[in-house]
Structure 1
């Protein structure tokens, strides 16, 4: 029996895609061997840059910060939900998750495979499918405390165009406890349902293509995933090196 390691992490590069309004990513030489004898990079990025995890504190200042969560939340056997083929900005209903949720066990990581990683680096990446509030609640009720997605967001991402009021609301208050009313562009309903689960929970976003893991699951192989973040104090989240294992 062999084990294969698969990297599910987007490379961190200058100018990489970020959520509308988040800090831009910049990597630049701070020291060089020519002047200081060593090479050292200076990094400028946000806590939600690239492939990252959200802690409950991301949406509510009374909920646990990243460093207050147990390490067990960042690794475990994976169950994949095949959500490929959905149209842009499709709301993912609870009925689409029933097959995957029937297979979860305590400590499982639920991975939502939308296929949207193929749009990374394009404007279309913002038009990903997203969880309905009901679906997110169903995930939490099933005992899942770790959810990952191959898209920018588990909630709907607003179009950053000037006519979209959702971006202004987001920038004004990232920790607003009130979800958007029906028809409005911005809501944290899925984040709040998942991250507010008893005992703490985490969300991983911007995973790379999950097709190889879907294939492995279909072939009866064992799939696991690790999503360990940087140890940032009192943080809302942090970049991760997401790695899957396929055994069989």
Structure 2
């Protein structure tokens, strides 16, 4: 079965998110560097072998990542508590034509089937084309009627190729609040959704089994027919 990589590269100094605190903007990213180098390890093996051990620092909402219910709801399940059958799902990919920066996208712009039972619903805005550019931070997002349709029609996961399923201008974060409240998982910062068929594929959103983590970077990919 052909596999389609849907993840952004995870790299030192990669694009991340920002938070404004006390008038100061804090930019989040990843730091990747050798913890033990080949040169430092070689003497332990009489020069016959050498190894590198890599050290990685990052916040869990970096790159292509998965939100567990705990991300929004303090007492709910963390990443480690998610079962594999929640992370490997039949997929539906829906494209939004000509989405505009900051546009609120409702059901009039997204053609969702009446039955979404058990599906990972991936919404393609085409925003991955702006990854690493200022335009990436001014993204379209889903409206309340789409959120309600996902909940009511039985979706198991929502994925987008933007940095957030919610607008940053609504502090209630309705998509995160409602969907994670119903154990509907969220994946953000996907890419290459244009390489997927509308249906007939399996979506994989696999994090490390991190106890206590509310979100986690993943290797997202799809298996197509």
Q: Do 1:79 and 1:103's aligned partners in 2 also have CA atoms closer than 8 Å?
A: no
Matched residue SS, 1:35: helix
What residue in structure 1 maps to residue 39 of structure 2?
34
Q: Does 1:58 align with 2:71?
A: yes
Tell me how far apart the structure 1 counterparts of residues 215 and 113 of structure 2 sit (CA, whole Å): 25
Paired positions, count: 210
Aligned partner (choices 176, 183, 195) of residue 212 of structure 1: 195
What residue in structure 2 maps to residue 233 of structure 1?
211
Aligned partner (choices 184, 194, 198) of residue 179 of structure 2: 194
Q: Do 2:115 and 2:154's aligned partners in 1 also have CA atoms closer than 8 Å?
A: no
Tell me how far apart the structure 1 counterparts of residues 115 and 195 of structure 2 sit (CA, whole Å): 19
Tell me how far apart the structure 2 counterparts of residues 60 and 222 of structure 1 sit (CA, whole Å): 32
Q: Do 1:89 and 1:130's aligned partners in 2 also have CA atoms closer than 8 Å?
A: yes
What residue in structure 2 maps to residue 151 of structure 1?
162
Tell me how far apart the structure 1 counterparts of residues 200 and 40 of structure 2 sit (CA, whole Å): 49
* Larger displacement relative to structure 2 (188-197 or 61-70): 61-70
Matched residue SS, 1:112: strand
What residue in structure 2 maps to residue 246 of structure 1?
224
Q: What is the Cα-based RMSD across aligned positions, in Å?
A: 1.6
Q: How far is 1:100 from its partner? A: 2.5
Q: Do 1:30 and 1:40's aligned partners in 2 also have CA atoms closer than 8 Å?
A: yes
Aligned partner (choices 105, 113, 118) of residue 101 of structure 1: 113
What residue in structure 2 maps to residue 116 of structure 1?
127
1:173-226 Cα deviation digits (max 9, x unpaired): xxxxxxx4xxxxx441111111111xx22101111121111xx33xxx722110
What residue in structure 2 maps to residue 170 of structure 1?
none
1:16-59 Cα deviation digits (max 9, x unpaired): 11111363211111111111131111101011110010011111
**1:15–1:187 Cα change, 3 Å:** farther
Matched residue SS, 1:81: strand
Q: How far is 1:84 from its partner? A: 3.2
Q: Which runs of structure 1 show a deviation greater than 6 angstroms over 4 or more consecutive aligned residues? A: none
Aligned partner (choices 214, 217, 222) of residue 200 of structure 2: 222
Which has the larger share of strand? Answer: 2
The structure that has the greater radius of gyration is 2
Tell me how far apart the structure 2 counterparts of residues 187 and 42 of structure 1 sit (CA, whole Å): 36
What residue in structure 2 maps to residue 9 of structure 1?
7
What residue in structure 2 maps to residue 141 of structure 1?
152
Structure 1 residues not aligned, in runs of 5+: 159-179, 181-185
Tell me how far apart the structure 2 counterparts of residues 190 and 231 of structure 1 sit (CA, whole Å): 24
Matched residue SS, 1:96: coil
